[in-house]
A and B are shown apart, each in its own frame.
Chain A
Amino acid sequence: MSTTAPLIHTVGLTKEYRMGSTVVHALRGISLDIAAGEFVAVMGPSGSGKSTFMNLLGCLDQPSAGEYRLAGEEVSRLSPDQLAAVRNRKIGFVFQHFNLLARTSAVDNVALPLLYAGIAPGERRSRAEARLRQVGLGDRLDHPPTQLSGGQQQRVAIARALANDPMLVLADEPTGALDSRTSVEIMALLQALNREGITIVLVTHEHDVAAAASRMVTFRDGRVVEDRANAAIDAAAALARLPSAADETYTD
């Protein structure tokens, strides 16, 4: 990875959908650079194109036109299998609804990207365990998602996103399904990861959540309408100030 080139570099990124006879312009030419180590919040009302942008960044979808370089590699013209490899090795995803495999232990969920990376079973397990300990779930290794609280499930999802040492973590409304206290916890965790050098791009429509980022990009109608630095609040400190509500300790 070059230190001078940005981690994410898009030029005129465009995405159009065809819905029946009408063409929906989800993105109308996004040119944006994100440097390694940034914590960017992508904001905007629904339909602004922020999620579409996120999907393109995550190589889950391909642009109709424009360029997208991830760590200097042009990824917008890669084949589906090559994109799968990019997702596996360079990107970690955190979703609003966690998207954990049901009836599958936390450690196996976290090990999933390692499985597709062709890592041997023993090493998979030890790396997955290390990631779970990193997000504070060292005592929940073999619990299935149903035996975990929402916050814990999202931590498992974050551990999974980190499993294969990605350079970029994409979080799509990661607090959308959580209560406010748990949301702050998750943001504190993301901030901690960012301080360790992981680039984070977060999609949200909540200002409280976006406030944890160091840069805010606002979308409207498929265009970037605002891009500014943000004096990030310290989520860990904010968490400390919250009244210690009945903690969501889970017994089983």
Chain B
Amino acid sequence: MNFAATLRIALAALRVNKMRSALTMLGIIIGVAAVIVMIAVGNGAQARVEDQIRSLGSNIIIVFSGSTLSGGARSSAGSQQAITEDDGYAIGREVEEVHAAAPSLRGAGQVVAGNANWSTTFHGITPDYLEAREWPIAEGRGFEQAEMNGAAKVALIGQTVAKNLFGDGAALDQVIRVRKVPLTVIGVLDKKGQNMMGQDQDDVILMPISTARKRVLGASAMAKSRSVGAITVKIRQGVDMKVAEEKMRELLRQRHRLQAGQDDDFFVRNLSEILQAQEAASKVLAMLLAAVASVSLLVGGIGIMNIMLVSVTERTREIGLRMAVGARGDDILSQFLVEAVTLSLIGGVIGILLGVGGSFLVGELAGWRTELSVAAIGLAVGFAAAVGIFFGYYPARKASSLLPIEALRYE
């Protein structure tokens, strides 16, 4: 008997017991769908971390002044010890592993443009900042050296700020007032998205560091010194981050005249490292999710075996009759095997549809990023078929080894 005939017999037998077939498939459907959704969620989490690494810029080390981070009692003393703009330039000049070092000042305030206003963060930067953050300008241009030196009243704005102040209208050459200081928008930054803390990185205004210090921050303490809030440092590709970090630390201690044994008056944060740890964690999470989902697929397979065993018992007389009219043991074996595999494959296909839909729903409803993977779908289907063959074989074997007369007489 050929395969087409066997397939037809198996399909007919499944059609005859629609309810039972559907219930049997349910285990596989849920298993496959779960595997696909879980892998999609895991991949999504991983992709998010990878995106954050990309948005931060690769090989980034940020130096914060001591007072900025420690807060409380130390912050007042910290203002004197804070890192300076010149520390930033010195790092760029003297540490050979450094590709770009960008000191920046940070502030917050109300921005007004026409009758729209928005509360946001602004950074006083040097051109190296955009270089270090790998942050292209979507339209307009960057700061020129003359503007840097002359504390020109110009600004680059992030996408979120542009949207809130100008809606869909053009932002270029418009005047915005940051803390009442009028600045001309010379460029709009490319979209960056959220950072790892979930902050919107596009909700920002950039201006020359001199402009920020002399015109916008005005009366605050920072305006009077050369101190800055942070230095964003980009390390060259292929260089050991640890070595670069250590050299920067040495240089800063020297410049700040710290004695051996005295605490650093700054913090060095290697953000890529934190993200890489996060990435590793999300990978483990993805694998864990896939493993848990696989268990449900396994349980689904056992469900198939269970039903097929019941089915063999229940259909003993049918098997006997088929043997009486000429079915060989192999015919019966392949019929039940094909039934089991068909169940798991149809279940697998429905499971894929549900899994794809489910991944989409999880993305929409829970707001998680999900990423479908073709490999995961292939894996789930392959596993479903394997489950069908593996768990279908035993009941099929049992059916085919029945003696015709005993099967016919079975009550």
Give the residues in chain A near B330, CB-CB below 8 Å: 81
The answer to whether B5 has its CB under 8 Å from any CB of chain A is yes
Q: Known contacts A61-B403, A99-B317, A103-B16: does B322 contact A116 (CB below 8 Å)?
A: yes
The answer to whether B324 and A89 touch across the interface, beta carbons within 8 angstroms, is no
B299 on the A face (CB < 8 A): no
B325 / chain A contacts, CB cutoff of 8 Å: 87-88, 93, 112-113, 116, 160
Q: For the complex, what is the distance from the CA of A198 to the CA of B318, rounded to whole Å?
A: 26
Contact A60 B329 (CB under 8 A): no
Is B1 in the interface zone, CB < 8 Å from A? Answer: yes
Fill in one digit per residue for B1-35: 1 if any A CB lies within 8 Å of its CB, else 0: 11001000100100010000000000000000000
Contact at B318–A101, with CB atoms within 8 Å? yes
Q: Is the CB of A164 within 8 A of B326?
A: yes
The answer to whether the Cβ of B90 comes within 8 Å of any Cβ in the partner chain is no
Q: Which one of B320, B325, B408 has the highest number of Cβ atoms from chain A below 10 Å of its Cβ? A: B325
Q: Evaluate contact between A108 and B327: CB separation under 8 angstroms.
A: no
Number of A interface residues, CB 8 Å? Answer: 27
Is A19 an interface residue when CB atoms closer than 8 A count as contact?
no
Q: What's the minimum C-beta distance from B231 to chain A, rounded to whole angstroms?
A: 79
* Contact A117 B321, beta carbon cutoff 8 Å: no
B308-334 CB mask vs A (1 if < 8 Å, else 0) is 000000000110111111111111000
Closest to B6 in A: A115
Q: How far is the CB of B229 from chain A (nearest CB, A)?
A: 78
**B408 near A60: Cβ-Cβ < 8 Å:** yes
Q: Is A47 among interface residues, defined by CB-CB distance under 8 A?
A: no
Q: Which of B2, B16, B404 sits near A102, CB closer than 8 Å?
A: B16
A243 at the interface (CB under 8 A from B): no
B405 at the interface (CB under 8 A from A): yes
Q: How many A-B residue pairs have CB under 8 A?
A: 69
Interchain CA distance A115-B325 in the complex, whole Å:
10
List chain A residues, Cβ under 8 A from B12. Answer: 104, 108
A85 CA to B2 CA in the complex, in Å? 15
- Greatest chain B CB density within 10 A among A85, A113, A160 is at A113
Return chain B residues, CB-CB under 8 Å to A85.
326, 328
User: Hey, which chain B residues are within 8 Å of A164, CB to CB?
Assistant: 326
| Per-residue B-contact encoding for A94-133, CB less than 8 Å = 1, 0 else | 0100010111100010001101111000000000000000
Chain B interface size, under 10 / 10 to 19 / 20 to 34 / 35 or more: 20 to 34
B172 to chain A, nearest CB (A): 74
Residues on the B chain within 8 Å of A113, using CB: 325-326
A84 contacts chain B at the CB level, 8 A cutoff = yes
* Bound-complex Cα distance A157 to B308 (A): 27
> Are the C-beta atoms of A87 and B321 separated by less than 8 Å?
no
A88-B326 contact in complex given A101-B321, A115-B9, A118-B1, C-beta closer than 8 Å: yes
**A197 contacts the other chain (CB 8 A):** no
Does A80 lie at the interface of the complex (its beta carbon under 8 Å from any beta carbon of B)? yes
Interface string of A138-175 (1 = CB under 8 A from B): 00000000000000000000001000100000000000
**How does the 8 Å CB contact mask read for A67-102 relative to B, with 1 for contact and 0 for none?**
000000000000011001101110001010001011
Bound Cα distance from A52 to B237, whole angstroms: 88
A58 interfacial by beta-carbon distance below 8 Å: yes
Contacts of A95 in B (CB 8 A): 321, 408
**Per-residue CB proximity of B322-350 to A under 8 Å, as 1/0?**
11111111110000000000000000000
Nearest to A97 among chain B residues (CB) is: B317
Q: For residue A117, which residues in chain B have a CB less than 8 angstroms away from its CB?
A: 326
User: A31 at the A/B interface (Cβ < 8 Å)?
Assistant: no
22 A-B Cβ contacts within 8 A? A55-B405, A61-B405, A81-B330, A84-B323, A84-B326, A84-B329, A87-B324, A87-B404, A88-B326, A95-B408, A99-B320, A99-B321, A99-B408, A101-B16, A112-B322, A112-B325, A113-B325, A115-B9, A116-B322, A116-B325, A117-B326, A118-B5
Residues of chain B having any CB pair with chain A under 8 Å: 1-2, 5, 9, 12, 16, 317-318, 320-331, 403-405, 408
Given contacts A87-B324, A101-B318, 15 further A-B contacts (CB under 8 A): A55-B405, A60-B323, A60-B324, A81-B330, A84-B328, A85-B328, A99-B320, A101-B321, A104-B16, A112-B321, A112-B322, A115-B5, A116-B328, A116-B331, A118-B2
